[in-house]
Chain A
Amino acid sequence: MKNPDAIVIGAGVVGACCALALTNAGLKVLIIDRGPVASGTTGAGEGNILVSDKEPSAELTLAIRSRDLWFEIDTDIGGGFELEAKGGVVVSRSAKGISDLKRLSALQKVNGVEVIELDGAGLRKIEPHLSESVDYGVLYPGDAQCQPMLAAAQIIRAVKKRGGSFIQGENVVKINANAGSITGVTTDKNQYASPIIINATGTWAGEIAKLAGSYLPIMPRRGFILVTSPAPKIVHHKVYDADYVANVASSDADLQSAAVVEGTASGTILIGASRERVGFKGDMDISILRQLARQAISLFPVLADIQLLRAYRGFRPYAPDHLPVIGPDKNIAGLWHAAGHEGAGIGLAPATGDLIAAQITGRTPFMDPSAFSPVRFKGGEYVAV
């Protein structure tokens, strides 16, 4: 494609959603990725679309809008990515955990999230295999799930059908600018001119910022997911321990994990979620797999007899304040960032794309985007982890 209106770097779900929002706003968009579609963190995700795991904040506002946008995109592009409004169930078994969960869900309710408190009997009515040891939980009917790789691929397919293009297997080696304004990118194979670049490279977004002579403190936070053999429907919702919410917000470098258990359309059960800051270390840590298995079985004892088939790991992109980075670069005009969604990238992608497109085209955004602005980071050396 010659002279696109905008170039999106990164063919993960965030890049795809940015490209779709811009395309639907009438721009000619070129997506570039060094690998195939969804070959980064998107391909290693569970497909969470959650409103349950966020404290009332700008991020919750983003999540609520994004959740609805997923269903609009589903209609817009004709589906094909296993979007399911399955609902989430958050449980807790400690007195403190329960009181925290009660407080959180009450606040969420005030902010427009549908919450339904359940006792043990109520829980086992909707999740018959849930452990007898659980007698308090909250059902979030708004939580949803999709197959994230298919989502990215289907959205990019729609972008292409609407006049955009996708180039894969080209690595961006240079961000071109003139007098502080973007003019295009140079890859290891070609050069592309455009006044607008969207950096949607997730965990690797800091590197692109650095290429442009700017700065973005995005770092990897490793997570493992267990995948079981296909089983009859055992887990009906996304069920997770309230500790997960605390872990998401934590800045601890050590390993943290809380059981997140869910069934998928294909019958497999996904078990997460561990978090640790170990850089891009890719080796299989068996002790983490064991811990995840133990936590999952403590929620659903029947899982003890289900076979583990695969385990994979991914690197969540996180910023020091655990908020996504969405908005214009403070140093270079025409460079936009859409990255750093940590473990919530799938859920937050459509609203991210919407905010980016609104700001680029001058439309009034659905919310004040300043909380996500890259301007919030003080400059300094970019340090690769």
Chain B
Amino acid sequence: MHNVVIIGAGPAGLSASLAAAAAGAPVLLIDSNPRLGGQYWRMSADDFQDQHNQHFDLDTGLLLINAVKARKEIEVWSGAQIWSATNKDGKNTLRIIYQGKERIVNTENLILCTGAYDRTLPFPGWDIPGVMTPGGVQSLLKGHGVLAGRRVVVAGSGPFLLPVAAGVIKAGGSVVALLEASKSRRWLTSFFVLLENISKIKEAFYYIKTISEAKVRARFGQAVIAAHAASNGELESVDIAKIDRNFRIKKVQNIKCDVAAIGWGFTADTSLAGSLGCNQLVAKDDGVVVWVDGEQQTSIPGVFAAGEITGIGGSDLSMAEGVIAGISAAKFVGCNVEVLKAHRKRRAKRQRFANALIRAYPIKPGWKSWLKDETIICRCEEVCLSDLKHSINELGATDSRTAKLLTRCGMGLCQGRICGRFVVDLVANELNLSPTDTDRISAVNRPIITPIPLGVLALGE
């Protein structure tokens, strides 16, 4: 029997591993974090004290993590970085840096559960130390028990702001402002969707309870539109603005803070899938995701995908997809197993909730009006908006790829993970065009998935 190779040990990857192993397929689970659980169930050490504080549902996570550890059919490589993935003649080759050495894994059966990371938007001062993403603040809290600062502004859009605000409060910090850019509470009107996803509502109220007990009131239709540094270069205050339906600034006010956690939902990490040649598509939130069929199979037979990389939808949807992907992959390698109707039903239910959320938290184009010519767009290469405009208006760039090559925007150490997505919007905006799907998909194309030391590359075969 062939191994099923699973990439990523968050909710989707853990569920897929258990489902495939339970069906009789041996599993190799490869993950870049030092510990299982992904970002959602990130923990500070294996012999943890009580970390339930920072989690709504750590029990489920611990259940999955311990089950994966207990199963002999599941081999785990933690702290492993995949730097290259190619597909040739039906065979997938993964090149992995694991325990300081490069390992090559060849497989016909893969499940990609590579998750997502914070979606960022630029604004004046977003490069000041102290301006972070909610995911970054949460990683420090969950992974290291560290509170990034005492007075915290949590802002942006989407339900993820709630657990981050609650986490800060539970860790003893003070949330000086909690701002949701979207005014809409439309999702409250999708009564049926709410009813069938009652656990998600419980989760939301769990956070809201913490937040309201701390006497923090969420303000809707407001956003951080600028950050200011003190003389030591660190964050001192932010400008928060009432914004209209299209995110255009109406009224501005300045507040002091040590940390601003600002995020706009998530961007799926599809680099690995893209490297293999899996078809990608642009989702309703303009993010690039991996196309899958009803069995969670990608456009490459034998390569499956589950979780956030197939569309942002949260941990419950990820687990539902992971189970189906695990069963499908086991079936692909010859196990006698079928995806059950109940599995599909559960996934459909979670999917409806995810769709409702995406509709409820739209990112409107007015954010571009917050920028100034001298606002940094690419932090790695220190490219500012005027450079980008120059490449278009003077040097004749007519697409984001050319603008990128002429300015080095997105060509730095993060490989465009931070700015790549919104640079496509900014370039199109300057050209008075709408970005094409090709623009968006080519912006996430990374043949070298993660930087690799030349010395390690040189030693490989």
A contact residues vs B (CB 8 Å cutoff): 36-39, 43, 149-150, 153-154, 156-157, 160, 166, 168-169, 226-230, 266, 271, 283-284, 286-287, 289-290, 293-294, 296-297, 303-312
Interface residues of B in 328-361 (CB under 8 A from A): none
User: A284, A289, A310: which contacts B457 (Cβ < 8 A)?
Assistant: A289
Contact between A308 and B86 (Cβ–Cβ < 8 Å)? Answer: no
User: A166, A230, A308: which contacts B452 (Cβ < 8 A)?
Assistant: A308
Cα distance A212–B391 in the bound complex, in angstroms: 34
**Least distance between A81 CB and chain B CB atoms (Å):** 10
A-B contact pairs, 18 of them (CB 8 A): A36-B402, A37-B395, A149-B405, A153-B397, A156-B396, A157-B395, A160-B396, A229-B451, A283-B86, A290-B461, A297-B455, A297-B458, A303-B454, A304-B458, A306-B454, A307-B413, A310-B448, A312-B447
Cα distance A311–B406 in the bound complex, in angstroms: 17
Shortest Cβ distance from A168 into B: residue: B398
Contact between B448 and A309 (Cβ–Cβ < 8 Å)? Answer: yes
Known contacts A43-B405, A266-B408, A290-B460; decide if A307 and B399 are in contact (CB<8 Å): no
Cα distance A2–B335 in the bound complex, in angstroms: 69
Most buried by B among A36, A38, A305: A36
Cα distance A243–B52 in the bound complex, in angstroms: 62
Shortest Cβ distance from B86 into A: residue: A284
Shortest Cβ distance from A43 into B: residue: B405
For residue A156, which residues in chain B have a CB less than 8 angstroms away from its CB?
396
Cα distance A160–B395 in the bound complex, in angstroms: 10
Nearest 7 A/B pairs, CB to CB = A304-B455, A307-B451, A153-B395, A293-B458, A36-B402, A294-B458, A293-B457
Cα distance A289–B457 in the bound complex, in angstroms: 8
Contact between B454 and A307 (Cβ–Cβ < 8 Å)? Answer: yes
> Is the C-beta of B381 less than 8 angstroms from some C-beta in chain A?
yes
Interface residues of B in 380-409 (CB under 8 A from A): 381, 391, 394-399, 401-402, 405-406, 408
Contact between B396 and A168 (Cβ–Cβ < 8 Å)? Answer: yes
Q: Mark B440-461, 1 if CB is under 8 A from A, else 0.
A: 0000000110011111011011
**How many B residues, CB 8 Å from partner?**
32
Known contacts A36-B397, A310-B447; decide if A153 and B458 are in contact (CB<8 Å): no
For residue A168, which residues in chain B have a CB less than 8 angstroms away from its CB?
396, 398
Contact between A266 and B381 (Cβ–Cβ < 8 Å)? Answer: yes
**Least distance between B86 CB and chain A CB atoms (Å):** 7
B contact residues vs A (CB 8 Å cutoff): 84, 86, 88, 95, 381, 391, 394-399, 401-402, 405-406, 408, 411-413, 415, 447-448, 451-455, 457-458, 460-461
User: A154, A226, A308: which contacts B453 (Cβ < 8 A)?
Assistant: A308
Shortest Cβ distance from B393 into A: residue: A157
Contact between A306 and B453 (Cβ–Cβ < 8 Å)? Answer: yes
Contact between B396 and A37 (Cβ–Cβ < 8 Å)? Answer: yes
**Least distance between B307 CB and chain A CB atoms (Å):** 26
Known contacts A36-B397, A156-B396, A286-B84; decide if A293 and B412 are in contact (CB<8 Å): no
Contact between A36 and B454 (Cβ–Cβ < 8 Å)? Answer: no
**Least distance between A295 CB and chain B CB atoms (Å):** 9
For residue A38, which residues in chain B have a CB less than 8 angstroms away from its CB?
402, 405
Known contacts A37-B396, A157-B395, A168-B396; decide if A290 and B458 are in contact (CB<8 Å): yes
Contact between A153 and B84 (Cβ–Cβ < 8 Å)? Answer: no
Contact between B406 and A150 (Cβ–Cβ < 8 Å)? Answer: yes
Cα distance A302–B458 in the bound complex, in angstroms: 13
For residue A166, which residues in chain B have a CB less than 8 angstroms away from its CB?
396
**Other than the known A36-B398, A228-B454, A286-B84, what 7 A-B pairs have Cβ atoms closer than 8 Å?**
A36-B401, A149-B405, A286-B460, A290-B460, A293-B454, A304-B455, A309-B448
Cα distance A169–B433 in the bound complex, in angstroms: 15
Contact between A229 and B413 (Cβ–Cβ < 8 Å)? Answer: yes
Contact between B402 and A39 (Cβ–Cβ < 8 Å)? Answer: yes
Contact between B402 and A296 (Cβ–Cβ < 8 Å)? Answer: no
Shortest Cβ distance from A154 into B: residue: B395
Contact between B413 and A309 (Cβ–Cβ < 8 Å)? Answer: yes
Cα distance A38–B406 in the bound complex, in angstroms: 10
For residue B401, which residues in chain A have a CB less than 8 angstroms away from its CB?
36
For residue A266, which residues in chain B have a CB less than 8 angstroms away from its CB?
381, 408
Known contacts A266-B408, A305-B455; decide if A286 and B398 are in contact (CB<8 Å): no
